[in-house]
Structure 1
Amino acid sequence: MSQADIFVILRGLPWTVALTLGAFLIGSIVAVPLLAARESQFLPLRLFAMSLIQVVRGIPPLLWLFIIFFGLGMSYFPISPFVAALTGLGLIAAANMAEIYRGALKSIHHGQWEAANALDLGRLSTVAFIIAPQALRVALPSAASYLIGLMKETAVASTIGVAELAFQGNRLSQLTFQGLEVFAVVGLLYVVLSLPVAWLSRSADAYLRSKVAA
């Protein structure tokens, strides 16, 4: 492979990073009200949230992108490939992050709530200063692992025309007939992108452990 070929592949790097971080941010935010609905005492709302999470997680990401881009986008309102991919992956991330948050909350002993109540702390203060820091530490490794997995899932966006790493690699391999070399470089880039996430996760986990322990 020539240096020019590598630059062609690297053109997809910003799209992959933007799609990964954008979908993860959307998912992390939307997961909060989704979790609240999932844990609601109002049965219809809880059943709706549970069903939504199961449906979203049960359908393959590729099919979600096809539904949004080819189904909704071409039948009802125009939508760009990037926005369609961001919407689909963000929706999937929300369902998965809601389950990660729920698992983290379930790991907090009920005695923490009782102790906060005994100290006459309000629910908001209890969540913000006692429950959330502990739950965040528990959720962090799973969230980081999901972020790495989400980055790899962005490759499906190439099927609807998002010019990310997999798209650029596929187009270059068709032009140069060097599929092995091209996709080896693409795979290496995915590995390189995952390393900072893993390092940041370990650093943040160590920091949170020290704070919680203190």
Structure 2
Amino acid sequence: MAEIFGYIALGAGWTVLMTFGSAAIGIVLAVPLLALAQSRFAAIRGIYNGFVHVVRGVPTLVWLFIAFFGVGGLGITLNPVTASLLALSMIATAYMAEIYRGGMKAIPAGQWEAAGALNLDRASTLRFVVGPQLFRAVSPSVATQIIGLLKDSALVSTIGVTDLVFRAGIMTQYHAEGLYMFGFAGLIYLLLSLPIAVFSRNIHARITRRYAVA
């Protein structure tokens, strides 16, 4: 049984890659995407709203199938890992951008005005005034989204990525002990999610103490 569980546990590598790879891409790409939402032009804001609503309105599994099977009609061939990262990163970008947008709305306009009164430029204002408050506001939601990506990553098994769920399924076919196989996979997911939650709480507490924001 130890060998079987060891085989399943090896799939955690792909699970971690899918989760944190897509999360990292989403965290970065959400910044320029958010700039569209801040535009004074309605057409540009419409592009942002359209992208976010379409991405969030379609199930993750459908995006995975589109990335893996659908783009073939365009003459593009993606392997399962690339297709999974593409789909999950797109989803992460849309959700992270909305998280950032909500965080920006939570910061009073007076913060920008006060920074202007101190002759701080926009970059300095973002770094020293708005940035820390934004980070504090969004860190719990970002952690929640990463945990959501961790759970959604289980769907990549449907297009052939040999993650935890894929390997647990293989072992179930051979040994017909689905309760133990998938129960063990679920335990690994739980163990992977706990550090994210703990890290988020610690960072949130530290940034609150450091900048003493209410």
TM-score greater than 0.5 by the shorter chain: yes
Name 1:78's counterpart in structure 2.
Answer: 77
Structure 1 residue ranges (4+ consecutive) displaced by more than 6 angstroms after TM superposition? none
Normalized against structure 1, the TM-score is what? 0.97
Identity fraction in percent: 45
RMSD of the alignment, in Å?
Answer: 1.1
Name 1:201's counterpart in structure 2.
Answer: 200
* 1:19-58 matches, cutoff 5 A: 19-58=18-57
Q: What one-letter code is carried by the residue in structure 1 that aligns with 2:35?
A: A
Matched pairs, number: 213
- CA apart distance, 1:125: 1.0
Of 155-164 and 119-128, deviating more is 119-128
Normalized against structure 2, the TM-score is what? 0.97
Deviations 1:111-151 (A, max 9, x none): 10110111111111111110011000110000001111110
Distance, in Å, in 2 between the alignment partners of 1:159 and 1:32 is 30
- CA apart distance, 1:211: 1.4
Distance, in Å, in 1 between the alignment partners of 2:46 and 2:74 is 30
Other structure's SS at 2:170 match: helix
User: Taking structure 1 as reference, are residues 16 and 74 closer, same or farther at Cα in structure 2, changes over 3 Å only?
Assistant: farther
Query: Does 1:8 find its partner at 2:35?
Result: no
- CA apart distance, 1:11: 1.5
Other structure's SS at 1:121 match: coil
Q: What one-letter code is carried by the residue in structure 1 that aligns with 2:41?
A: F
Deviations 1:171-190 (A, max 9, x none): 11111100111111011110
Name 1:59's counterpart in structure 2.
Answer: 58
Q: What one-letter code is carried by the residue in structure 2 that aligns with 1:24?
A: A
Name 1:168's counterpart in structure 2.
Answer: 167
Deviations 1:85-131 (A, max 9, x none): 00000000000000000111110011101101111111111111100
Gaps of 5+ in 2: none
Deviations 1:16-72 (A, max 9, x none): 001100000010011001111012112111101111100000000000010110011
Gaps of 5+ in 1: none
Name 1:103's counterpart in structure 2.
Answer: 102
Distance, in Å, in 2 between the alignment partners of 1:95 and 1:183 is 30
Distance, in Å, in 2 between the alignment partners of 1:87 and 1:73 is 14
Other structure's SS at 2:69 match: helix
Distance, in Å, in 2 between the alignment partners of 1:127 and 1:11 is 42
Q: What one-letter code is carried by the residue in structure 2 that aligns with 1:59?
A: V
